[in-house]
Structure 1
C-alpha cells in the first residue's frame, strides 16, 4: 500500500514537471505553500484556458478575423481591433427586424457586442463569434482587459450552454494559474502581469455573479459549499479584500431575497404592502388578492428571516488570513441604479432625498368596499346577475379609473419583477417543461390573458346598450391611466380586448362612447400598435423614465426571432454571437425591474381583477362572439 502511494506521488510529480514547462514548482513560496495542496492537484495537471487559439476552440468575428488574442501564459501585447462597430453585424446573426436603437441615456441597452467599448478597460481584443467554454472563461477573466459588457452578457446567458456548478468549477480552475511561466520571464513580473490580474478578475466575476445571479445559489447547498471553499481560498492567497466583497455581496443578496420572498408571501396572504406605506399603513392591512401564477419552482412559499444556508461570512470567518498582496485590487464591477422619478422610489434602500411621497389614494367609499367584499365572498345568483353586479361596481363614479389602474399596476409589477433571466433563454416559456423552467413568465402571460378575457366578457355580457357603452368607456379610461403609469403590459391587454372580433364589431355601442374618449383611445392604439415591429412603442419605451412595466410580448417575439434564426453551435463551439443578442434583450427586460412603483394598495379593488374573478366571469372566444351577436345582430343582407 505504501509502495503504491509513493509510486502515485512520483507519477504526479512527473506530470507536474512536464505540465509546467519542465521547470520545478516553487512549493516553498509562502503565497503558494498553503493554497496548492493535494486538493489543487487536478487543477495544476492541466490548464486549458491558455491553449493556443485555433479553429477548434475559438472563432473570431469576421470583421476581426485577422486579429488574434494573446494565448500564451506569458503576457503579450494584444492586437488593436479597429472594427468594433462592424463586429455586431458579423457572423450572420439574426436580430429582430426594424428594432430602433435604444436611447443613449443611462439605463438603456442597445445591442451589445464583446468588441471594444467604453466598458472595456485595458488592451482591446477581437470580438468572439463562437468559442469553447474554456475560451469564454479566458476572455471573461483575461489578464489584460476587463470588459463589463462581456461579463454581463456571459452571466446573463451562460445557463443556455453550461450549468452553475460547471461555471464555478471553471472559475476555481482558472484561479489556479500555473506557478511558473513557460518562458524565461522572471517570477516577479509574471506574478504582477499575469497571475495577480487573472485571480483578481476571477474574484470580480464571482462577486458580480453573486450580485446578479443569486438565485443560482438558492436551494443549491453543493454550489454554496464550493463558493465557501473558493472564498476561503481567496483569503489564503492574499485577496482578503475581494473575499470580503464577495461575502458582503452574497449576504446582501440573501437578505434581499428573503425580503422579496416575504413580500410575495404577504401578497399571497392578502397583505399587500406598498414600499412607502410599510406594514403599519391602514390601506395595507386590508385583505388583498392571491398572487396570480405559479411560484418559482423549488423555492419556499415564504422566506425565513435569515437564509437557510446561513451567512457566507460565518462560514469563512475561521479561515486563516494570508499576507495582503502588495498589488492593489482594481475596483469591482458596478451596475447603474435607476433614479427615482415623480411619485416613485427605487427598489434599493433610497436616501432621504430620493423618497417622494406616494400619491394620495382615491379610496372607494365604505359601502362600495362592502359591496365588493360581499360579491367576492358570497357567490350567489345567476351568471347574468353576477356580471351585472360586477359591471355596476366597476362603472361606479366612486371608483376612479386611475385608482383601478394603480391597483392593476401594483400586482403587475410584482409579477414582472419575479421574472428571472434564465426563464428567457431557449424559449423556455414554450417548452414541454415550461411550468418548471419559466413559471414567472407564464404567470405574467396569464395575467395578460386574464385581464383581456375579463374586458371582453364584461362588455359582451352586458345586454343593455347604454350600460354596455358605460363599461366600454370605463375600460378606455383605465387604458389612459395605464398609459400614464407606463404599465404597457396591461395597456396592450385592454387594447387587444377592444380589437378582438366580439368587441370590434359593436359599432352601435361604440358610437355611444364620447368622441373625446374614443379619440384618446385611438392614440393609445397607435402607440402600442404592431406597425413596423412596434416602432412607436419601442421609441416611447426607450425614452421614458422608470418605473414602467413593458409589454412582455414584444420581448418574447424578439427572443424567438433570435433563437429560431441562429444555431446554438458553430462548428461545435458555443455561438456566443447569438447569446450576446439574447443578452441584450434580456438585460433590457431586467433593467425595468429595478424601480418600484410607490403606490398605496387598496386590496378590495385589487380583488376585482384577481384570477378568481376572471375564472368565474370570463367566457371563451366562441361564446363571447355568440353574445356579441346577441348584443348587435348582423344587419340583414
Structure 2
C-alpha cells in the first residue's frame, strides 16, 4: 500500500492474467474499482413526451445523486427544477423491458448497490424510469422563496415563516432556545414524518454548493437529529425511528461514518429541569390517627398533602402534546391526563361546597368554612396552586358567598386568612399575584392548570397561519412558555407519605352538583332573608341529611 501511494501509478490487470504473474512476486497494492453499469433510462416529461437515453451509472452512489446526475447531464426539465437536490419532484424506478407496467420504486436515500436492482436476463433487460411527482410535503426546502419575518432588525424573534424556513433556520442557527421551542411545539402545526422529510431534503444540498458549505449544513442537520432523538419532549413512533435509522445508516454513514455512529448510539435523555427545589420549605404532615375519623379530624396540612399526592401523580404524566390544539376540549382522548386533573379539581370544588352547605347549624357551617380556609393556606404553603384555586372557587361560588351570616361568624384569623387567599387569586392584571409567585420557580409545585389552559385558549385565538400562509410563530413561543413550565415542575416530586385514613375520609366526602348546592343555599338563606335557617329544618336540608351523617357533621 505504501508503494502504491508513493508511485501513484495505476495499471490495469488484464482479465486473463493472474495477479501473481503480474506482480512478479513483489508486494503490490491491488485496487478494486467497480465498473459503471449501463442502463436505458426513460424520462417521462410533463408534456407527455418520453426521452430515452443510454447512460452508465456508478452503482456505489445514492439514488438521489443518480437522479441529480440524470436531470443535470442527460435530460432537460423545466428551468425551475434544475436546483432540486432532494427527493422531490423526481422519483426513480426500475422495471424489466418485458414487464414495463411493473415498476419498482427506488429509495432516494439508499445507494444503488443496496437496492437489489437485478441483472439483465438475456434480452429481458432492466431499464430505469425517471418520473416527476408531487411531494406530499409541498415545496422542496431548497426551492423555498418566502423569507422569514422577524420582529425587527434588532429583535431576531421570528414572527412568521413557512415550515421549510423554520427547518432551515433550525439547522443553521446556534440558538439553542429556538431549537428547543421548535422541537417542543412543531407538532402543533406539523408532524414527525414531515419534519424528517424536510431534514433529509436539507441534508441533500444542491450540487453547485461549495463542499465546505455543504458539509457544514450536513453536520448541522446531524446535530439537530441527535438533539431530536435525545430530547425528552417526545418519543418518535417506531416507523419514524426506522426511517431515521435508515437515513443515518445508508446516507450519513456513507459520507460521515463517525457522525453516523454517534447518531446510532444516541439515547433519549430525561433531564430534570426544575428551577429551585425547596424540599426543606415544605411543612411536615401531622399524620393524625383517630378512631372513626371524620372530616374535621383530618389536620388541614394532611388534607392538603393527600390531595396533592393524588394530583401530582396525574400531573407528572401530562404529555406536552396534550396542550396542542385545545385537545382537552375537542379531542379529550388525546389529553387524558389534563382532563383527569381538571376533573379532580372540579371534584374537590364540589366536595368543599357540599361540606359547607350541608351543615345543619350556622356555627358548624362557619367551622367547616374556616377549616377549608386553613386547607387552602396549607395548599398555598406546599405550592399546590391547582387545588388551592379549587377551594377558592368553591368558597367564592355564589352558593357559599351569599351566606353572609356564615362569613360573619368566622373568627378574626379566618377572615384575615380568607382575605389573603382572595388577594392571591385576584383577577387584577390577569392573576398578577399568582403569576409573580410562580415566577420564583420554587419546587415542588403544581401550577393552576385552569390558568394555563386559559392562556393557551387565548393564544389559540391567533390564527395558526397568517394571510400569506406562513406559520404565526409567536403562538409557539407562548405555548412553549406554558408547556416548558409544566415540564419543569413535573421533574420535582413531592416528598409526601401516604396517609390511608385521611385519604379515605377525603374520598368519602359527598358532592352535590352546582344547581343542588344553590338550591340548598337558598333554602338556608332565602332571597332577602334576614337570618340563616338550620339546614336540618329545610326541605333541601332534610333531603341531604344523609350527607351530614357521612361527614359526621351532626
Assess same fold via TM > 0.5: yes
Selected match of 1:51 from 143, 163, 185: 143
1:412 is displaced (CA, Å) by 1.6
For residue 620 of structure 1, what is the aligned residue in structure 2?
Answer: 513
Assess if the C-alpha contact under 8 Å between 1:429 and 1:438 holds in 2. yes
Assess if the C-alpha contact under 8 Å between 2:84 and 2:142 holds in 1. no
For residue 435 of structure 2, what is the aligned residue in structure 1?
Answer: 538
Deviation per residue, 1:11-30 (Å, 9 max, x gap): 9432154878799xxxxxxx
SS at the partner of 2:215? helix
Distance 2:357 2:181 in 1: 47
Identify if the C-alpha distance between structure 1 residues 557 and 514 changes in structure 2 by more than 3 Å, giving closer, same or farther: same
For residue 128 of structure 1, what is the aligned residue in structure 2?
Answer: 158
Selected match of 1:197 from 212, 216, 230: 216
Assess if the C-alpha contact under 8 Å between 1:175 and 1:198 holds in 2. yes
SS at the partner of 1:412? helix
Identify if the C-alpha distance between structure 1 residues 462 and 577 changes in structure 2 by more than 3 Å, giving closer, same or farther: same
Identify if the C-alpha distance between structure 1 residues 242 and 598 changes in structure 2 by more than 3 Å, giving closer, same or farther: farther
Distance 1:504 1:338 in 2: 37
Assess if the C-alpha contact under 8 Å between 1:210 and 1:246 holds in 2. no
Segment of structure 1 superposing worse, 13-22 or 453-462 = 13-22
Identify if the C-alpha distance between structure 1 residues 625 and 170 changes in structure 2 by more than 3 Å, giving closer, same or farther: same
Q: Are residue 496 (structure 1) and residue 390 (structure 2) matched?
A: no
Distance 1:227 1:601 in 2: 44
SS at the partner of 2:445? coil
Selected match of 1:206 from 203, 225, 229: 225
Deviation per residue, 1:29-57 (Å, 9 max, x gap): xxxxx9861489999x99933436x4xx2
Deviation per residue, 1:495-550 (Å, 9 max, x gap): 01001011101222223322112201211111112122111111111124222111
Identify if the C-alpha distance between structure 1 residues 559 and 211 changes in structure 2 by more than 3 Å, giving closer, same or farther: same
Identify if the C-alpha distance between structure 1 residues 567 and 510 changes in structure 2 by more than 3 Å, giving closer, same or farther: same
SS at the partner of 1:531? coil
Equivalent positions of 1:417-456 (< 5 A) are: 417-431=316-330, 434-456=331-353
Assess if the C-alpha contact under 8 Å between 1:340 and 1:546 holds in 2. yes
Distance 1:237 1:335 in 2: 35
Identify if the C-alpha distance between structure 1 residues 336 and 213 changes in structure 2 by more than 3 Å, giving closer, same or farther: closer
1:163 is displaced (CA, Å) by 0.8
Assess if the C-alpha contact under 8 Å between 1:58 and 1:130 holds in 2. no
For residue 15 of structure 1, what is the aligned residue in structure 2?
Answer: 71
Equivalent positions of 1:94-243 (< 5 A) are: 115=156, 127-142=157-172, 145-178=173-206, 180-182=207-209, 185=210, 187=211, 190=212, 194-212=213-231, 215-217=234-236, 220-233=237-250, 234-238=252-256, 240=258, 243=261
Assess if the C-alpha contact under 8 Å between 1:395 and 1:470 holds in 2. no
Distance 1:542 1:157 in 2: 22
Segment of structure 1 superposing worse, 197-206 or 151-160 = 197-206
1:599 is displaced (CA, Å) by 1.7
Deviation per residue, 1:265-324 (Å, 9 max, x gap): xxxxxxxxxxxxxxxxxxxxxxxxxxxxxxxxxxxxxxxxxxxxxxxxxxxxxxxxxxxx
1:568 is displaced (CA, Å) by 2.6
SS at the partner of 1:130? strand
Q: Are residue 593 (structure 1) and residue 512 (structure 2) matched?
A: no
Assess if the C-alpha contact under 8 Å between 1:130 and 1:570 holds in 2. no
Equivalent positions of 1:564-583 (< 5 A) are: 564-583=461-480
Segment of structure 1 superposing worse, 418-427 or 197-206 = 197-206
Distance 1:22 1:208 in 2: 27
Identify if the C-alpha distance between structure 1 residues 42 and 407 changes in structure 2 by more than 3 Å, giving closer, same or farther: farther
SS at the partner of 2:447? coil
Assess if the C-alpha contact under 8 Å between 1:503 and 1:628 holds in 2. yes
Distance 1:603 1:207 in 2: 45
SS at the partner of 2:375? helix
1:486 is displaced (CA, Å) by 0.9
1:572 is displaced (CA, Å) by 1.7
1:336 is displaced (CA, Å) by 5.1
Assess if the C-alpha contact under 8 Å between 1:395 and 1:474 holds in 2. yes
Distance 2:168 2:479 in 1: 21
Deviation per residue, 1:361-389 (Å, 9 max, x gap): 43232x54xx46xxxxxxxxxxxxxxxxx
Distance 1:601 1:571 in 2: 55
Distance 1:416 1:364 in 2: 27
Aligned length: 425
Q: Are residue 63 (structure 1) and residue 152 (structure 2) matched?
A: yes
Assess if the C-alpha contact under 8 Å between 1:343 and 1:598 holds in 2. no
Selected match of 1:630 from 512, 523, 527: 523
Distance 2:380 2:436 in 1: 14
Selected match of 1:558 from 431, 455, 473: 455
For residue 481 of structure 1, what is the aligned residue in structure 2?
Answer: 378
Instruction: Name structure 1 gaps, 5 residues minimum.
Output: 24-33, 65-82, 85-114, 116-126, 254-333, 345-357, 373-392
Identify if the C-alpha distance between structure 1 residues 517 and 235 changes in structure 2 by more than 3 Å, giving closer, same or farther: farther
Deviation per residue, 1:190-233 (Å, 9 max, x gap): 2xxx233323332332233334455442xx32122123324435
Equivalent positions of 1:465-476 (< 5 A) are: 465-476=362-373
Superposed CA RMSD: 3.5
Segment of structure 1 superposing worse, 508-517 or 334-343 = 334-343
1:451 is displaced (CA, Å) by 0.6
1:621 is displaced (CA, Å) by 1.3
TM-score scaled by structure 2? 0.68
Distance 2:109 2:528 in 1: 86
1:489 is displaced (CA, Å) by 0.8
For residue 394 of structure 1, what is the aligned residue in structure 2?
Answer: 295
Distance 1:196 1:249 in 2: 25
SS at the partner of 2:493? strand
SS at the partner of 2:159? strand
Distance 1:608 1:584 in 2: 38
For residue 111 of structure 2, what is the aligned residue in structure 1?
Answer: 37
1:450 is displaced (CA, Å) by 0.7
